[in-house]
Amino acid sequence: MPLLQATACIIIDMKTYWKITLTYLIFGISWILITDLIAFGFSPDNKMFALVEVLKGWFYVFLSAAVIFYLTRNAFFKQAAAHEEKFAIYQNTIRGVHHIFLNYLNQMQLMTLEAERFPDFDSEALELSKSASAEAAEELMKLGEIEKISPENIESFVFRKMEQKPENVP
């Protein structure tokens, strides 16, 4: 693999803060070396060289600010896209769980209807089954409506009716 391709692969896999830092470092070193050579070649005396150096410094500040803006803006948009993708995954997971669970609840309703046909079946157990199914469906709907999705908010929603969370939950 040629050196340029290897370097590109390494940069692609780097964290954003390293990409920004290395880009700025390479840009800064290149700028100083190239513009110093140019300034030295075009300056006939020390006064002109000093003026060129000051102008070169100001231009460097503006140009480096533009480079940093561009790099951080791109990093922000990539981070926002990653956040949107995670949110979409969460929503699709909730929809999938909701679908599976509602299918299960439908099967339980069929079982309840069948059990109601037998007068000897415990009516208290039937009511408990209906109540538990309705509550589970309602809770699952509410879980999908959490506004700010975070592990803490999901955990506090799931365990909000309990005094303590279970010991085996991290």
Q: Which residue, 28, 57, 80, sits at the end of a domain? A: 80
Segments forming the whole domain that contains residue 23:
3-80
Q: How far apart are CA 47 and CA 53, in angstroms?
A: 10
Q: For the chain, what is the mean pLDDT?
A: 80
Selected residue with higher pLDDT from 122 and 4: 122
24 and 70 both lie in a single domain:
yes
7 and 76 both lie in a single domain:
yes
Q: How far apart are CA 74 and CA 53, in angstroms?
A: 31
74 and 86 both lie in a single domain:
no
Note the pLDDT of residue 109: 83
Note the pLDDT of residue 62: 92
Q: Which residue, 35, 61, 80, sits at the end of a domain? A: 80
Given a cut of 80, whether residue 47 has pLDDT beyond it is yes
Note the pLDDT of residue 90: 82
Q: With respect to residue 51, please indicate whether it lies within any of the assigned structural domains.
A: yes
The model's confidence at residue 12, banded by pLDDT at 50, 70 and 90, is: low
Rg from Cα positions in the chain? 32
Torsion of CA 117, 122, 127, 130, to 10 degrees: -60
Hey, what are 35's tokens?
């513009």
User: How many domains, the chain?
Assistant: 2
Contact (CB, 8 A) for 39 and 53 = yes
45 and 28 both lie in a single domain:
yes
53 and 100 both lie in a single domain:
no
Given a cut of 60, whether residue 74 has pLDDT beyond it is yes
Range 22-50 average pLDDT:
86
The model's confidence at residue 1, banded by pLDDT at 50, 70 and 90, is: very low
